[in-house]
Structure 1
Amino acid sequence: MAGDGRLSILALFFTVFLQIHPILGGQVKGSVPLDVTTFDKIVPKFPVVLVKFDEQYPYGEKQDEFKKLAEQLSTQKDLLVAEVGISKFGEKENEELGTRFGVDVEEAPKYKLIMQGKDEPIPYEGEVKYDDLLRFVKDNSGLWIGLPATLEAFDKLTMEFMAASDDKLAEIITKAEEETKPLEDEQDKKSADIYIKIMKKVQEKGKDFVNTEITRVKKLQDGKVSKTQRENIKNRLNVLSSFKAAAKDEL
Structure 2
Amino acid sequence: MKNSATSLCMLALMALATPLLAHPLPDVAVRAHFEQSGDWMLQVEIDPRSFLPDPNVAPYLTNADLGVTPAERQEKLKAQAREYVQKVVEVVLDPVTEVKPDLAWEFTAAENAPLKLPEDPVMLTGTWRTKLPAGSTGYSIKALPAGTLSVLYHNTALGRKVERYQILFPGETSYVLDLKTFTPRTKAPPPITAESLQPAGELPDSLEGVCELCGTGSGGGYLLPTVIAVAGIVVLVTFGSRHWREAETVDGAASEAAGSGVSPAADHVCV
TM-score (norm 2): 0.22
Q: As a proportion of its length, which structure holds more helix?
A: 1
Q: As a proportion of its length, which structure holds more strand?
A: 2
TM-score (norm 1): 0.23
